[in-house]
Each structure stands twice: as structure tokens, then as C-alpha cells.
Amino acid sequence: MNPHAANPFRLDGRQVLVTGASSGIGEAAARLCARMGAQVVACGRNADRLDAVVASLAGSGHRAQVGDLTDPAARQALVDAVPALDGCVFSAGVAALAPMRMVSQRHIDTLFSVNYEAPMLLTQALLAKRRIAPGASLVYVSALAEHTAPFATGIYSGTKAALTATVRTLATEVAKQGIRANCVSPGYVATPMMESLQSVMNSGAKMELAPLGTIEAEDVAAGIAYLLASASRWVSRTSLAVDAGLTLHIR
């Protein structure tokens, strides 16, 4: 019998890793997972913000792990520090815009290092060290940019498309252990990352295009929590669009 059948949306007693937990979608996911009963391992680069987030989480048993996950030593330190995980949320990411005529090697390397290589290499290390428990759920934060490809997002969109494609293969590989792997693909979300792009992209106008209105980080966190919970135990190898109906006409 499913041990979470009484309330399949709860995460009681589960160990959940959240990367990028010091702000934005990662912070919102960490907060919601804690309220739903999980013990959270929060990872981020900014020690002060991360400690503040962890200190304010509901419940107990949470911990902070400071580190830049593009650094192999930081990834190894995280793998060594975590218990067997029942859920992982790979939310750390970076966005930078450049039309193709202005793309540089540094632009490509930075975006792929953070958005693709770091979560994939961390996943590999966690699996190799058996830090992901049977029946666990892995959730990767992608972006609808992989489908809609807004102006000047060619490399950013490429990192997210690569992430989603790899997660589909990963889901097949880990299915025998009952492990699930999915993506959440947000539209334009009101986060510090989106605000940082305001000078080069009218993000406010983009958000207004969504029929259902502005998406908050907490809205994306709810989709993440669903994919972590046993309510979605038959859901794997897919991508959940959280876009306020923005791309309904192109799907």
C-alpha cells in the first residue's frame, strides 16, 4: 500500500535536496517542501541568503550547503554531505541574453556550465554514490524558452532544451529503481533573475501576454512539489508547463 495514500500531496519524512535555494524558484520550492513535511537540504552560492532561508523554514532538520555547483569540489562536498535523498530539485540557473551575432565562447561556456553541466554532473555523482533512494523523484527546472525561443535567447534556450532531452533519457535509465525524473518548464516568472533582464528585455510586457496573469515563484514551486509527491507517482519522463496559458496556441 502506498504509505502516503492518506494525503498523496504531503512530503512528510522525506529528504529533499533543493539547489538554487537562496532565491527565486529554488527558495520558493524549499519553503513549500518544508511546509509539506520534508527535511530540506538547501544549496546555494550566497551563504548569508541561504542561511536566512534555512533558518526560516517550517519544521526542523533542515540544513544549508553553500557551494557553486559548477565547481567539482563543491559538487563532491554536497554529495558527501547529503543523506539518501527522496527528492531532488535542480533549480540553480542563470539567464543571459545575446543575439547570435554577439555570442561569445564565454557566453556559451557560462550558460552551459550552470544550466546543463552542473545539474547533470551532480545527478551523475549522486547516482554513482547511491545518494538517491529507490522511489525518489528528480525535478529539473527548465524553461519554456526551449520551445518559444524568444529573441536573443538562442544559447539559453539551447541549454534548457539539452537539459530536457537528457532528463528524458535519464528517466528511462533509473525507472528500474522506481526513480522518476521530470522537468518543470516555467514561463515568465516574477523572480530576481527576471528582474535582472529588465534592462535588455521588457519582461513586464512579456508577462502581460499570459492569459492567466503573472506567474509567481510559488506557483512554480507548487508544480515542483506535485512532482515530488506520491500524487504523481506514475508521472515520469515529462515536462510540466507552468506558463499561465502563454504557449497554449503553439502546443
DSSP, residue by residue, 162-190: HHHHHHHHHHHHHGGGT-EEEEEEE-SEE
Q: In whole angstroms, what is the distance from residue 201 CA to residue 27 CA?
A: 24
Q: Which of the four pLDDT bands, split at 50, 70 and 90, describes residue 12?
A: very high
**pLDDT for 78:** 98
Q: How many CA atoms lie within 13 A of 244 on its CB side?
A: 18
DSSP E strand boundaries for the chain? 15-19, 39-44, 63-66, 85-90, 132-141, 180-186, 189-190, 215-216, 239-242
**pLDDT for 139:** 98
Note whether 136 and 14 are within 8 A (CB).
no
Please report which helix (H) or strand (E) contains residue 63, including its range.
Answer: strand 63-66
Cβ-based neighbours of 100, under 8 Å, separated by 6 or more: 154
What is 134-156 written as a DSSP string?
Answer: EEEEEEEE--THHHH--TT-HHH
Q: Which of 140, 156, 188, 226 is catalytic?
A: 156
**pLDDT for 189:** 83
Verify whether residue 188 is a known catalytic residue: no
**pLDDT for 157:** 94
Tens digits of residue pLDDT in 219-234: 999 999 999 999 999 9
Q: Which of the four pLDDT bands, split at 50, 70 and 90, describes residue 156?
A: very high
Q: What is the pTM of this model?
A: 0.91
Q: Which of the four pLDDT bands, split at 50, 70 and 90, describes residue 131?
A: very high
**pLDDT for 1:** 44
Beta bridge partners, 43, equal: 19, 65
Tens digits of residue pLDDT in 182-212: 999 998 887 555 454 555 555 555 556 767 7
Question: Distance between the two ends of the chain, CA-based, in angstroms?
Answer: 37
